[in-house]
Amino acid sequence: MSSDPLLEVADLSVGFDGFDGYADVVGDVDLRVERGEIVTIVGETGCGKSVTTKAITGLLEEPPAHVDGSVEFDGMDLRELSEDQRESLNGDRLGMIFQNPLSGLNPVFTIGEQLIDTAMFGGKNDDGILSYFRRRRSTADRENARDRVVKMLREVQMPDPEAVLDSYPSELSGGMRQRALIAQALLNEPDLLIADEPGSALDVTVHDRILSLLTDIIEDRDMSILMITHNLGVARQVSDRIYIMYGGRIVETAPTEEIFEEAHHPYTQGLIASIPQLSGEEMAGGIDGSVPKYTDPPSGCRFHPRCPYADEQCRQSPPPEVSFGEDSHAVCVRHTDDGTTPTNEKTKRRLMKNGSVQTGGER
């Protein structure tokens, strides 16, 4: 691994002021994405994944959000940038694909209008409002942008791109809208693409096609990806390295194969145990309980109310980080004492004993 990561997040924390008091959502998040690397953040719905990426891209409104920590992108501290600098970085070097293709496109503009504007004015192309009108009139500029958009739509395998340009989002299928969104995010050739559960709002077959499309496109270019998913299977399919997130904390990280070979954190093990398998083996029905309330999070280790290994120590103090290799860490106290070291097998048995044995995903 090189020592010059494209994205390096250190000690990131995010909280929100709300009606129920202060919600401490994300904390102590360290993560990095190397050049050309695909990294996923995996966790249940509501565990702080999207908030983390929004904090990275600067999309959170402060206040009500309180963001702390450092986000370094290619040597620049993103938290220090002015709004203008930020605008020119987003789109140009940082791309983002949104979770829901049905709400990610503006319903009252045609696909062409939105994509051509992104191609012409996304990223560093802001010279003020006068140049907007001048450049909009310039047919050469517009034709050029239009060609880029059509080319990109072809690349994301959009059927009949020319016709799509004149369509409104409501006239396209979910899969086509997702393709349009991917094209929009890639238009200005970002160095880092942040993808928030791409395609997960679509049905399974379309989701699968979108994912393989995305991995194909990435392979063709020199691009890094930070992808969010609640699905370990997806993470395994696409990523080089995985961060497991629970309750707004990174609980474990390791290269993808290592996680599936030997997970160390009971939460990761629980997630793995609840992946349906074709072998017909019995599987754990999932991890009982749900993600913590952020206005009143559990003391000590945030996972303890749902952890099959939890004891007094877990309730009282935050767990230490334990290293298992250069890129492999877990945050769990069970690996430092000489008692029960959690393993995949043990966790699975414990989860099955606790609860129902059923088929179903991690939800």
Closest CB 99 distance from another protein, rounded Å: 8
Out of 100, 157, 215, 343, the only residue in the binding site for another protein (CB under 8 A) is: 100
Q: Using the minimum distance from each CB to another protein, give the nearer residue, 123 or 292.
A: 123
Please name the residue ranges forming H helices in the chain: 49-57, 83-89, 111-121, 129-137, 139-155, 161-165, 174-186, 204-220, 232-238, 256-261, 266-273, 312-316, 344-354
222 three-state secondary structure: coil
Stretch that binds another protein, among 27-35, 84-92, 272-280, 311-319 (CB under 8 A): 84-92
Please identify which residue in the block is written with the tokens 């995949």.
344
Pull the structure tokens for residue 119. Answer: 């191609």
Residues 6+ apart with CB under 8 A from 127: none
22 three-state secondary structure: strand
Is 245 in contact with 42 (CB distance < 8 Å)? yes
Per rule CB under 8 A, count of chain residues that contact another protein: 40
According to CB under 8 A, which residues from 7 to 66 bind another protein?
57, 59
Q: Using the minimum distance from each CB to another protein, give the nearer residue, 23 or 181.
A: 181
Closest CB 121 distance from another protein, rounded Å: 6
Contact string (CB under 8 A) for another protein, positions 270-289, x = contact: --------------------
Q: Is residue 133 a contact residue for another protein (CB under 8 A)?
A: no
DSSP label at 90?
Answer: B
According to CB under 8 A, which residues from 102 to 131 bind another protein?
103-109, 117-118, 121-124, 126, 128-129
Is 208 in contact with 214 (CB distance < 8 Å)? no
Pull the structure tokens for residue 267. Answer: 């939460």
Closest CB 200 distance from another protein, rounded Å: 14
Q: Using the minimum distance from each CB to another protein, give the nearer residue, 188 or 274.
A: 188
Pull the structure tokens for residue 281. Answer: 């083996």
Stretch that binds another protein, among 89-97, 218-226, 246-254, 329-337 (CB under 8 A): 89-97
Q: Using the minimum distance from each CB to another protein, give the nearer residue, 126 or 203.
A: 126
Q: Which of 10, 13, 8, 25 is nearest to 246 (CA)?
A: 25
Residues 6+ apart with CB under 8 A from 146: 112, 116, 119, 165
Contact string (CB under 8 A) for another protein, positions 161-190, x = contact: -------x-xx---------x--xx-xx--
Q: Which residues bind another protein (CB under 8 A)?
A: 57, 59, 83, 87-92, 94-96, 98-100, 103-109, 117-118, 121-124, 126, 128-129, 132, 168, 170-171, 181, 184-185, 187-188
